[in-house]
Amino acid sequence: MTTATTTTTVTDVALLDPERLGREIYMLVEDLYPICRSITGDGFRQTMRRLKREVPLSLYEVASGTRVFDWTVPREWNIRDAYVKNSRGERVIDFRKHNLHVVNYSIPVRRTMPLASLRPHLHSMPDRPDWIPYRTSYYKDDWGFCLSHRELEQLPEGDYEVCIDSTLENGHLTYGELLIKGQTADEVLISCHSCHPSLCNDNLSGVTVAAFLARHLGQQQDLRYSYRFLFIPGTIGSITWLSRNEERAQAIKHGLVLTCIGDRGNFTYKRSRRGNTEIDRAVEHILKHTGHDHSVADFSPYGYDERQYCSPGFNLPVGCLMRSQHGTFPEYHTSADNLDFVTPASLADSFAKILGVFQVLENNRTYMNLNPKCEPQLGTRGLYSVMGGTHIKQLEMAMLWVLNLSDGAFSLLDIAERSGVAFDTIHQAATLLRQNKLLRECASATTVNKASVGSKE
């Protein structure tokens, strides 16, 4: 049987209410913003617990000291309070006002010292005198405070009481994981680092959009692929996951690292190491057909967790989707990456684009023209419209392309790329042609997950 029901649609992007969706994602960003996250500790757990109210995440705990490839899971860091007080006992730097004020992973400190001794531990940005920088000291025992350059310059000479009420002890690294099972065991990976404290674009935009994508996919029937969502601490989290799931990782057929997708900038896509995999082509196709400026960068071994997924021992087809690219916008890793820097509209738009990518993956099939000797007569089948209209013309053109290239060698994405017609129009044309018994699907190489895999011809 050939019916339209065998092709999956991950719900039409056009059916979404972008304003409402944007507001909902933004509200989750607002909820998560105040939490002091790090690569381990209760801030990370608290973030996962909040996400669990949206999606049924499983939390995993990996003990400090566990070897994960060439790395070791670090001691767990927790912090209750931190401040620098002047001689009058006033908090001149106060962790309670902004969690970026403390160098993330600072060792505990309690002492009084003159400004000259304190000064090497204070970090500011002279070129952005009102912003607080974000600094970390994950893998070396150190401590420090970050503050605006203006505040730093106002500190008079004198003795200061320094307190960092933190602990750095054996504990666990936490991560959140969710698998949404589809018809096949082949997986699409969505990975986002969730370890930055109060930073919205770098970290929370990816985390929240991923959570909403997971919630949305969880409501879909008949997904072709299984979707694995990882909410992990950057670098050590993906290394840990890969070392515990070396075999499972082989099921990942397509993947995206999501970060910096909430700002007002244009999209940036960083290709997988392999560079021309289906995920690379699907993302580039979707971005090209938005009609907006965007940029595509080749893989480089610098950035986020795509570095680990694309390390030569795995070489997975995983790219990284961003709007403004990390490290290139002034607000990056500063207190200016705040709730004003991300917008509900950008978050909703990023959600829709990623869903568009999933739709390409779900529907990218290869067909065989059942009437390959000359063109079939479309008019007698009611497939040629007598009426005009741009979309009708495009659909007719798409049908001609699909019929011509469907010899078993070209997928619908190949046809979309070669014809310059948007994938969804190509897919719509293929569906019509199937309904009219002019195409049959070629067997795909995907791994069957369940007994009922829709209809096969």
- Chain contacts with Zn ion (rule: CB under 5 A): 202
Q: How far is CA 299 from the centre of its chain?
A: 16
Residue 232 exposure: Cα atoms within 13 Å on the Cβ side? 26
Instruction: Compare residues 182 and 233 and give the one whose CB is closer to Zn ion.
Output: 233
Sign of CA dihedral 230, 220, 56, 202: positive
Residue nearest to Zn ion (CB): 202
Cβ proximity to Zn ion: between 195 and 439 the closer is 195
**Residue number with CB closer to Zn ion (233 or 376):** 233
Q: What's the closest the beta carbon of residue 33 comes to Zn ion, in angstroms?
A: 15
Q: With respect to Zn ion, which residue has the nearer C-beta, 135 or 248?
A: 135
The minimum distance between CB 201 and Zn ion, in angstroms, equals 9
| Interatomic CA distance for residues 270 and 283, integer angstroms | 10
- Strands (E) across 234-365 are located at 252-258, 267-270, 294-297, 318-322
Q: 3-state DSSP call for residue 264?
A: coil
Residues in the chain: 457
Nearer to Zn ion, 338 or 371 (CB): 338
Q: Report the C-alpha gap between 92 and 207 in whole angstroms.
A: 33
When the beta carbons of 40 and 411 are compared against Zn ion, the nearer one is 40
Cα 198 to Cα 99: distance, rounded to the nearest angstrom? 7
Give Cα 311 distance to the centre of its chain: 18
- Nearer Cβ to Zn ion, position 109 or 297? 297
Minimal distance, residue 69 CB to Zn ion, in Å = 22
> What separation in angstroms does the CA of 52 have from each of 23, 46, 123, 178?
19, 10, 35, 10
Question: Least distance in Å: CB of 203 to Zn ion?
Answer: 6
Cβ at position 262, least distance to Zn ion in Å: 13
Backbone angles phi, psi at 220, to 5 degrees: -90, 150
| Cα 384 versus chain centre, distance | 41
Q: Kindly state the smallest distance separating residue 40's Cβ from Zn ion, in Å.
A: 16
Nearer to Zn ion, 194 or 226 (CB): 194
C-alpha to C-alpha distance for 301 and 43, rounded to whole angstroms: 29
Q: Please, what is the minimum distance in Å from the beta carbon of residue 251 to Zn ion?
A: 28
Structure tokens at 174: 């936490």
**Which lies closer to Zn ion via its Cβ, residue 202 or residue 441?**
202
CB of 134 to Zn ion, least distance (A): 8
Q: How far is the CB of 199 from Zn ion (least distance, A)?
A: 7
* Rounded Cα distance, 201 and 256, in Å: 16
SS3 per-residue string spanning 28-77? HHHHHCCCCCCCCCHHHHHHHHHHHCCCCCEEEEEECCCEECCEECCCEE
- In terms of DSSP bridges, do strands 366-369 and 439-441 run parallel, antiparallel, or are they unpaired? antiparallel
Tell me how far, at minimum, the Cβ of 260 lies from Zn ion, in Å: 8
Between 133 and 454, whose beta carbon lies closer to Zn ion?
133
3-state secondary structure at position 297? strand
Q: Which residue has the tokens 């995440």?
A: 57
The count of other CB atoms within 10 Å of the CB of residue 119 is 12
User: What minimum distance in Å lies between the beta carbon of 297 and Zn ion?
Assistant: 17
Nearer to Zn ion, 333 or 427 (CB): 333
How far is C-alpha 23 from the geometric centre of its chain's CA atoms? 19
